[in-house]
Amino acid sequence: MNEVILYKETPIPGRWKQFWGKFRRNKGALSGFIFLCFMVLMAVFSPLIAPFDPAEQFTEYLRTPPAWYENGINHFIFGTDDLGRDLLSRVIHGSRLSLGLSATVVIIAASLGILLGAIAGLLRGTLEFIILRFMDVILAIPSLLLAIVIVAIMGPGLPNAVYAVAIVLIPHFVRIVRAAIKEEMSKDYVIAARLDGASPIRLFTHSIFPNILPPLIIQLTLAFSTALVDIAALGFLGLGAQPPNPEWGTILSQSRDFIQLAPWTVTIPGLAILLTVMSINLMGDGLRDALDPKDHRE
Amino acid sequence: MIRIILRQLSIFASSLLGIIFIFFLLTQLIPGDPVVLNYGNLTPGSFEYERAAESLGVNQSFFDQFYLYLKRVLSGDFGYSLITNRSVLDEFLTFFPATLELSIFASLIALILGVSLGVFAAVRKGTWLDNLVMSSSLVGYSMPIFWWGMLLILFFSLDLGWAPVAGRISYVYDIEPVTGFMLIDSLYAYPKYEFAAFYNALSHLVLPAFVLATVPLAAIARMTRSSMIEVLNADYILTAKAKGVSDTKIIWVHGLRNALIPMVTIIGLQSSVLLTGAILTETIFAWPGIGKWMVEAIFRRDFPTIQGGVLLIAFFVVLINASVDFLYAVINPRMRRPK
């Protein structure tokens, strides 16, 4: 018999596989991620999932309590509000507004922030100084207050609320990108690319950017949860989405007057905000642990 | 020491100038006639209109207008409310103590509870108690406080009847605002009834202060824990243990003192979070502070009040941040380099 020699292959997992392996072991982060996926799916397919139209009124069923109450009916699982609108449908449709708007905010803030941060980090001098001072000023004004000022100037309404929250979030991106660029610039691989004659733009997009992705991803999740809460807060103050839009914060401000008559119209939309923000934060914690190269202790 | 003070002062001054400049830019962006926006409905061509236009420098160049604006702001003139006709600075000073009282009380709750919970979790790292503290801090950290406030009102005020729903004190009491702080003013107001007014004011304060404290409390607890865990692994703690120092002394003296140093700046950053939260908390609890004042000004389209009020609040935040940086430099021995 010929002896068969087996060589076992030792697989070295790739960057993504390593990251996923670490992320998956964090139960909190994984459950946050799954819940968020569920919410995103709900937002995308909300017209198909929601049993009713969010504005449809059932005038015989004003303030019907949720199904688990004694006098609740299964027709309206989360009950109805003071105008007889199905709360479940409103919350499902609201996920589209709340998540979609926060995503828009984060995309605007991140692209402007990365651009300004890259300019400040790569082209030093006066321009860097001006950008940084400007960002310091934005940071000095409490975020919601700045958003309120911007809304006050441009008038209440959804698009203005989106711009306002986006402007508030820009400085954090600028700071992170600039600090990361400063740190990477002195490293050997960047010097090598520079000696090859890479232009500042190519240097940023090809050498530096892929290496500053981890802190950026963490900042993205942080910004996402801040955006969600701030947009809901503006809606609650009556400065963001206007009724009858089923944005979660706006629903809360509408049901505030009926807190004693119909407490479920307050608890359920708020719970939706809390759970979504919590899942984003859980995911952010997991990402931080999984992406941090220094963290081998735990 | 003098160098530290001078550096902080220059940063403070340049931030103030930057804020004033950006606010000036923002006021240029407001659509409409600047004279009408600042001084109300004056008929163009009238004597008052011309005088108002002159004081704003409407017909002058951009830089002259900024110079006039700067001069007005630095001399303490933040404009006049279109609704009440009072100076914005006066109005700010009447509403500000209420917000300050709420914020100070909230930060005390957040600091004391947050630091103790953080230390507690760090010492019992990995146990179910640690997990409990960490998961509840995650909930607190993610809490939309306007909803949290409504829930607490629903439970404590409406169901249990333990706390009042809104305001700073019952209408039974007529308190003369001497210091503007209700807790202090109510102490002396009705000597005949001992502390009845004081207890009433306190019962109005507890719920909103706790709501406002929630997010900073959770943030401080999380940061104390991680900072404390790092410090407890340091060599000097091992040295202290080897010397036979008691556990309590190691945790509270050697550990916490060093763990708190990096946290001073982070606690300072919470002042901005607190003021943001104050806007929402005051709206829910009908607390007559600057947050409620600002929101009402927006709905009344009272532009001088919005402009002047936010400028004053921004000044206050910059002042707090500068003092925190200064404090950090003073208490951290590593910042004091011999030279």
DSSP conformation letters of chain A: -PPPPPPPP-----HHHHHHHHHHH-HHHHHHHHHHHHHHHHHHTHHHH-SS-TT-B-GGGTTPPPTTSTT--TTSTT-B-TT-BBHHHHHHHHHHHHHHHHHHHHHHHHHHHHHHHHHHHHS-SHHHHHHHHHHHHHHHS-HHHHHHHHHHHH-SSHHHHHHHHHHHHHHHHHHHHHHHHHHHHTSHHHHHHHHTT--HHHIIIIIIGGGSHHHHHHHHHHHHHHHHHHHHHHHHHTSSSPTTS--HHHHHHHHGGGTTT-THHHHHHHHHHHHHHHHHHHHHHHHHHHH-TT----
On chain A, the residues whose CB falls within 8 A of the CB of B16 are none
Instruction: Say if residues A171 and A113 touch (Cβ distance below 8 Å).
Output: yes
Average pLDDT, stretch B27-46?
75
**Contact state of A270 with B147 under an 8 Å Cβ cutoff:** yes
- Report the pLDDT value the prediction gives residue B302, as an integer from 0 to 100: 84
Q: Is A151 on the interface with B (CB under 8 A)?
A: yes
Phi then psi for residue B104, to 5 deg, are -65, -45
B161 SS3 class: coil
Say if the Cβ atoms of B147 and A153 lie within 8 Å: no
From chain A, pick out residues whose CB is under 8 angstroms from the CB of B158. Answer: 259-260
| Residue bearing the bigger pLDDT, A294 or B144 | B144
Least-confidence region, from A167-181, A231-245, B51-65: B51-65
Distance from CA of A146 to the nearest CA of B (A): 8
Chain B: nearest CA to A114, how far in angstroms? 22
The residue extents of the domains of chain A are 26-49+59-290
pLDDT > 80? residue B33:
no
CATH number assigned to the domain covering B89-336: 1.10.3720.10
The answer, yes or no, to whether residue A297 has pLDDT greater than 50, is no
pLDDT at B22: 81
Least CB–CB distance from B317: residue in A141, A144, A229: A141
From the CA of A233, how many Å to the nearest CA of chain B?
7
pLDDT tops 80 at residue B315: yes
Which has the closest alpha carbon to B219: B147, B107, B329, B138? B138
Indicate the range of A80-84, A205-209, A267-271, B178-182 predicted with least confidence: B178-182
The pLDDT value recorded for residue A35 is: 92
Residue with tokens 């000004």: B297
Question: What are the sequence ranges of the domains in chain B?
Answer: 2-74, 89-336
pLDDT of residue B186: 72
B129 close contact with A: CB closer than 8 A: no
A280 to chain B: nearest residue by CA? B142
- Residue A43 pLDDT exceeds 80: yes
C-beta atoms of A142 and B275 within 8 A: yes
For residue B288, pLDDT over 80 is answered with yes
pLDDT at B109: 92
Contacts of B12 in chain A (CB under 8 A): none
**Is the Cβ pair A233, B144 closer than 8 Å?**
yes
Residues of B in contact with A139 (CB under 8 A): 272
Band of pLDDT at residue B46, cut at 50, 70 and 90:
confident
Q: Which pLDDT score, from 0 to 100, does residue B244 have?
A: 82
Among chain A residues, the shortest Cα distance to B148 is held by: A270
User: In angstroms, what separates the C-alpha of B272 from chain A's closest C-alpha?
Assistant: 5
Q: How confident is the model at residue A295 (pLDDT cuts 50, 70, 90)?
A: very low
A133, A136, A278 member nearest B142 (Cβ): A278
At B334 the pLDDT is 63
Mean pLDDT rounded to a whole number for chain A: 84
DSSP code at position B227: H
Q: Is A13 left (phi over 0), alpha (psi -120 to 50) or beta?
A: beta
- Taking an 8 Å cut-off on Cβ atoms, the answer to whether B279 and A236 are in contact is no
- Chain B CB contacts of A145 under 8 Å are 275-276, 279, 294, 310, 313
The answer to whether the CB atoms of A133 and B14 lie below 8 A apart is yes
The residue of chain A with its CA nearest to that of B230 is A297
Q: Is B177 on the interface with A (CB under 8 A)?
A: no
SS3 B28: helix
| Contact (CB<8Å) B298/A151 | yes
Q: Are A274 and B142 in contact (CB under 8 A)?
A: yes
Instruction: Tell the burial category of A76 from Cβ atoms under 10 Å away from its Cβ (0-12, 13-18, 19+).
Output: buried
Distance from the Cα of B188 to chain A's closest Cα (Å) equals 35
What is the average pLDDT score of chain B?
82
Nearest CA in chain B to A272: B144
Q: Residue A238: its chain B contacts at CB < 8 A?
A: 299
The answer to whether A252 and B147 have CB atoms below 8 angstroms apart is: yes
Q: Report which of residues B332 and B296 the model is more confident about.
A: B296
Query: In terms of pLDDT, which residue wins out, B60 or B152?
Result: B152
Find out whether B166 and B157 touch, Cβ atoms under 8 Å. Answer: no
- At B335 the pLDDT is 59
Check residue A224 and give its pLDDT: 93
Residue B131 to chain A, least CA–CA distance (Å): 11
Closest to A44 (Cα-Cα) out of A118, A115, A95:
A95
Q: Taking CB atoms and an 8 Å limit, are A142 and B273 in contact across chains?
A: yes
Q: Give the residue on B whose Cα is nearest the Cα of A282.
A: B138
Q: Which residue has the higher pLDDT, B107 or B43?
A: B107
Architecture of domain A26-49+59-290: Orthogonal Bundle (1.10)
pLDDT-above-70 percentage for chain B: 95
Phi, psi (deg, nearest 5) at residue A64: -75, 130
Please tell me the distance from the alpha carbon of residue A161 to that of residue A166, in angstroms, as a whole number: 8
Q: Which residue has the higher pLDDT, A206 or B338?
A: A206
Q: What is the model's pLDDT at position A296?
A: 43
Tally A–B CB contacts below 8 A.
121
Q: Which residue of B has its CA nearest to A251?
A: B147
Q: pLDDT value at position B147?
A: 92
Please check whether residue A281 is in contact with residue B137, taking contact to mean a CB–CB distance below 8 angstroms. no
Distance of CA A179 to the CA centre of its chain: 22
Q: Which residue of A has its CA nearest to B283?
A: A237
Q: pLDDT tens, A63-116? A: 888 878 888 788 788 888 888 888 888 989 989 889 999 999 999 999 999 999
